[in-house]
Every structure is written in C-alpha cells, then in structure tokens.
Amino acid sequence: MKKTIADIDVQGKRILVRVDFNVPLDPDSGGVVDDTRIRAALPTIEYLRERGARLILCSHLGRPKGVNDSLRLAPVARRLSELLGSPVKMTDDSVGPQVEEAAQSLGPGEVLLLENLRFNHEEEANDPDFAWALASLAEVYVNDAFGTAHRAHASTAGVAAYLPAVAGFLMEKELTFLGKALASPDRPFAAVIGGAKISTKMGVLENLLEKVDRLLIGGGMACTFLKAQGFEVGQSLLEEEFVGTARQVMERASQRGLTLLLPSDVIVSNRFEADARRQQVSAKEIPADWQTMDIGEKTVKAFIDALRDCKTVLWNGPLGVIEFEAFSQGSHRLAEAIAGLDATTIVGGGETGAVLERLGLQDKFSHVSTGGGAALEFLEGRELPGVAALQDA
C-alpha cells in the first residue's frame, strides 16, 4: 500500500494536490454538467483544509493543443467554491511568477486552482523543468487523481521526484477496492465484462482468468466469442482477427474449471438507431442482415442467477447499446440486481458508471471507479506511473 495524507504531517503546509477535474462542460452556458469527479475529491480537500493546509489544486480538462478558452477551469472553480461554501482562487496559468505569488500568499485553509495543466505541452511530455516549477509551489505533493494515474505526466509522476508524494483519500479508495479484488477477493468472485470491442479488454480478460470463479461476457465484444463458437453474427460488430483469441480465452476458462457465461439469446435490430425494429433471437440464430444490440431475457436471468451467491462482483463495460433506451435494458436490469447483492460490488468507471448514475444506483455499489482507462490498466495488472511514484506505506 501507499502512504496517504493521514500518514504525514500536513498542518499549515502548502500542498500541491493533483485532482481529476476533467468534467463535462455545457457548450452554451459553460457550466459543469456532471460534478461527480469534483465531489469525489472533497474528502481529501476538506481533510487538508481542516488542518490549516494551503491547497494548490491542479488538473487537466479535455485535450487542448495549447491555450483553449473553452477548456479553462473557471467553471470548475465556481462549482468547487459552491460545494466548499468558500472562495476558490484561480490563476491564468499553471506555472510562472503570478502562480508562485498566488501560492505564496495563501492563508491556512485557502484553496487555489491552477489553470488547465495541458495548456502547457510540457505537462504531457513529463518535462522535468515543468515538474520542478509545479513542485516548487508546495512542500508536499498529493495525488488524488486515479483517473490519470496511468499517464506518466509532469503532474502525475514528474513532481514526485521533487516532493514527498502521498495518496489522497480517493486514490487510496481506488487502490484498496481494486487491489483487494485482484489480490484477495471474498469468493465466489465474478467479473462481468462488456463493451464494444474485445481488443480493448484482452489484457483485463487474460488477467482476470487467473483470479475469478465466474466470468460473464456481454456487449458487442460477445459477438467475437459467438463467432468463435461457430455461430454467425449477422451485421454485428465483429473483430475477425480476435476470433482465435476468444477461442483461447474459452479454452483457458475450461482448463481452469471456471464458469464462463456468454449470451444465449440477444436483442437484434435492423439498423443502428434508437427507434429501429427489434426482436429477441437465439444467439445461434442471428439474422444475416440484423445486428446484436443487447443481451436477451434468458441471458439476463442466467447472469443474475450466476451472481446471486457471489461475494465479490466486478463489472466493467455495458452489455448493450446504452445510448439507446430500448437497448439498455440488459445493463439496467443487471445493475439493479448487482445493487441488491450482499457482496463487495465494484464498477470500473466509464460507461458502466454512467448506467448507475442514470438509475441513481451509485450509492448502492461498494465502489464506482472514477478512472476508466486507469481502472482498465490496473485490472490488466499493469503498474500505473502515478501510483508507482508515491511513497510506500
């Protein structure tokens, strides 16, 4: 495990906190559309403020190539100020004399938010001079941005070379839940893996095959497995080059004696649109000119039955085309079923987290990760640069 802010003396110190405030903004009003990631950082921010720390927060927003006025962090500062009930100061840049002066003049418990880190190309290049300029603003570095921990950037890895570096509470929570699921889960341990493409989940599947008792596969990627079983999948998304890989996954699951469930029936559509015709068919009988859009009724019941006695459930990736209401029912029903389990239930962020938010179920899960890409890489068993840079407990 890594040291956290609870393990060190933060009283009155200037602390550089890397947060993940990469939130959606309304293109018309400029306001924050979804403040989940801002609220997720509040326990760390409040803990430090209560101890008189002087907070210098830094984050990226979007993928600007240089300064982009539509990706400034001012709306984020306004929303954070509302949530904290006190002012949040802002700077026009993330380094430089104005930033240094603002950091030096902070009083106990005051909060400063630096401008979008990615306005400077040195951030993503992990430029040591840029990292040093950030580090020189503070006495301690705290990384609470799990969502960017898989990037070796100046603000996630570089600064740790110059300051004592520890985890915030959100980072600690992510590492605790995801780490325990991989290292010592309560069993039976099931993983539900969905999403469009098997190519993006191969590393996760290979790592989880050695750890889970049950593996449930849905979403578009299931079509590659159905093809590997010898079934035709019509116009469905198919990664032909991964059919052999899917076959190997099934063989390894069989060798290990773990339960591998694939869709036995699917909802198909004649076109990829919200109001398209739909019908339920056996996974063995997908019409040649139709495509799979969701899992079917028998599959939903089989998945729920397989999870009923599980003590750890990890879910990453939706089971259907969730942007269309008619084809999101499989994901919705599974979410409701998992929410009712007496188990440790973990969702790997991204689109799956959006399903829970739509249903108002986030609080019914043990942990909803804030890091889509970072969660995926962690579940693949890869070392995350932003985590590796922190001091060990």
Active site residues: 37, 197, 350, 373
Query: Who's near 301: CB < 8 A, 6+ residues apart?
Result: none
CA–CA separation, 211 and 265 (whole Å): 27
Q: Are 48 and 17 in contact (CB under 8 A)?
A: yes
Q: Are 167 and 3 in contact (CB under 8 A)?
A: yes
Q: Are 330 and 320 in contact (CB under 8 A)?
A: yes
Query: Is residue 232 helix, strand or coil?
Result: coil
CA proximity to 144, closest of 64, 43, 76: 43
C-alpha R_g of the chain: 23
> Which runs of E-coded beta strand occur in 45-203?
54-58, 88-90, 111-113, 140-143, 165-167, 189-193
Please give the single-letter amino acid code of residue 113.
Answer: L
Q: Are 200 and 224 in contact (CB under 8 A)?
A: no
CA–CA separation, 273 and 67 (whole Å): 37
Q: Are 315 and 158 in contact (CB under 8 A)?
A: no
Q: How many CB atoms lie under 10 A from the CB of residue 279?
A: 12
CA proximity to 155, closest of 97, 163, 63: 163
CA–CA separation, 233 and 223 (whole Å): 6
